[in-house]
Structure 1
Amino acid sequence: MTQNVLVLGGTRFFGRHLVEKLLEAGHSVTIATRGNTEDPFGEQVNRIKVDRTDETALSVAVQGKNWDVVYDNICYTADEARAAIRVFTGKVGHYVLTSTLAVYGVGSADRKEEEVDTTALEIAPSPVGQVSYGEGKIQAEAVFFREAPFPAAAARFPIVLGPNDYTKRLHFHVERIKNGVSFVMPNTEARICFIHEEEAADFLKWLGETGQSGAFNAASDGKPKLRELFAMIDRETGGSTIVLPEGPEGEASPFGIEDDWAMDTTRAAKAGFVFRRLDDWMPELIEHLARG
């Protein structure tokens, strides 16, 4: 079924892939961004130029418009979630929020959605003070699930990897291992999970098209120990991993976790989403970055 959709943040990384996949599926797509990043979509999409943190401007920009699904890649706080509810109530049938593995603490490779049950959390009006990225997403999820008059889903992603990753976290390791440069990591036995940028887009699209509600963990099949990931980089680059237990902050690995940090994806799998195998895409990505 063709849908009329709005994507908040759809010009780079997995947001761009999401727009591409929605267009390929025949959906009518509007993207809302500040207009700072060019996109390749031409006349295939409608555009709204707005800063989503400016509630008044966002409300004016969407006046008189309605969407079957809103995909929100750029909501980070309870205040932004509440603003979105005020703006989109009566204008949207289903809301899909990009969330994060960071809602969970480290210490397990099998975090389940119910361990952080945001449907049961009450968030105070306009929480005061800075909160962490993970806490901000917890609060945003809770606001949508408890306060929105429309159904909402949240995709809890781990670290998203791909050739277009502007954070260059995997790039950091590939370049250093390829060139024999050391980096700092506290525990190479810790297990971790990832998702490919295109798979993240596929998952968001699936949530919107199937009308799922609630929180869903989403990660590629495979939870390697960090030393196993580095051995893969060794093989693909011909380099050698040199890990130090401590050192300058600038030498610290972006994957430097102290204990296991990965998710159980059974809920999404039972609902019908088929995840890629990490081993099917990670070696190719490493090789691509090594050629880089």
Structure 2
Amino acid sequence: MTQNVLVLGGTRFFGKILVEKLIGAGHAVTIATRGRTEDSFGDRVERIKVDRADEAALAAAAEGRYWDVVYDNICYTADEARAAIRVFDGKVGHYVLTSSLSVYGAGSADMPEERVDTASLDVPPSPVGKVPYGEGKAQAEAVFFREAPFPAAAARFPIVLGPNDYTKRLHFHVDRIKNGVSFVMPNTQACICFIYEEEAADFLKWLGETGQTGPFNAASAGKPKLRELLALIDRETGGSAIVMSEGPESEASPFGIEDDWAMDTSRAESAGFVFRSLDDWLPPLVRELAAPEA
């Protein structure tokens, strides 16, 4: 079924891939961005140039409009979630929020959604103010689940990897191992999970098209120990990881977790989503990142 959709934050990384997939599925796509990043969508999308943080401008842009699904990749706080509810009340059929593994603290490789039950989480009245990233995402989920007059889903993603990752977290490790440069990683025995950029886009699209509600963990199949990840990079680059258990913050690994930090994805699997195996995409990605530039 063709849907009329709005994507908040759709010009880079997996948001851009999501837009391409929605267009490919025949949906009518509008993207709302500040207009600072050029896109390659041409006349295949409608554009709304607006600052998400400017509620009045966003409300003016949404006036008289209706979308079957809003995909929100750039909501980080309870205050932004409440602003979205005010703006899109009566203008959306289903809301899909990009959330994060960061709603959970470290300490398990099998964290289920109910570990952090945001539907039962009380959020202080706005303005809530600045809180840590994971707490902000949890509060944003809670606001949509408890206060929104429309149904909502949240995709709890771990670290998203891919060639278009502008944070270059995997690049950090590939470059350092390839060039024999040390880095700090406090616990190489800790388990971690990832998701591929295209898979993240597929998952968001699936949430919107199937009308799922509530929180969903989403991660590729496979929860490697960090030492196993480093061994993979060693093999693919021909290098050898030089790891320090402690050291300056400037040398810290972006994957430097103290304990296991991974999720149980059985809820999404039971609902019909099939996750890729980490082994299918991670080794080729490492090879791609390690290849000499032409």
TM-score (norm 1): 0.99
Distance 2:184 2:85 in 1: 43
Residues 209-224 of structure 1 aligned to structure 2 (within 5 Å): 209-224=209-224
Once the two structures are superposed, the pairs formed by residues 123-202 of structure 1 within 5 Å of their partners are: 123-202=123-202
Matches of 2:244 and 2:68, distance apart in 1 = 51
SS at match of 2:190: coil
Aligned residue number for residue 112 of structure 1? 112
- Give, in angstroms, the shift of residue 129 of structure 1: 3.7
Equivalence map 1:44-63=2 (5 Å): 44-63=44-63
| 3-state SS of 1:5 partner | strand
Instruction: Name the amino acid aligned to 1:252.
Output: A
Q: Does the C-alpha gap of structure 1 residues 127 and 108 become closer, same or farther in structure 2, counting only changes over 3 Å?
A: farther
Q: What amino acid maps onto 1:115 in structure 2?
A: R
Amino acid at match of 2:178: K
What secondary structure does 2:259 align onto? Answer: coil
Q: CA deviation at 1:127?
A: 4.6
Matched, 1:2 2:22: no
The answer to whether the 8 Å contact 2:78/2:128 transfers is no
- Distance in 2 (alpha carbons) for counterparts of 1:44 and 1:127: 38
Q: Mapping of 1:28-107 within 5 angstroms? A: 28-107=28-107
Q: Report what 1:14 is aligned to.
A: 14
**Partner Cα distance (2:127, 2:259) in 1:** 30
Once residues 23 and 10 of structure 1 are traced to their aligned partners in structure 2, the CA distance between those partners, rounded to angstroms, is 12
What corresponds to 2:231 in structure 1? 231
User: SS where residue 160 of structure 1 aligns?
Assistant: strand
> Residue 121 of structure 1 corresponds to which residue in structure 2?
121
For 1:182, give the aligned amino acid: S
2:264 is aligned with what amino acid? D
Identity %: 80
Partner of 2:271: 271
Counterpart-to-counterpart distance in 2, 1:244 and 1:77? 35
1:123 positional shift:
1.0
Residue 288 of structure 2 is matched in structure 1 by 288
Corresponding residue SS for 2:165: coil
Q: Counterpart of 2:165 in structure 1: which amino acid?
A: D
Q: Unpaired segments of 5 or more residues in structure 1?
A: none
| Cα RMSD, aligned residues only | 0.6
Q: Report the Cα offset of residue 130 of structure 1.
A: 2.0
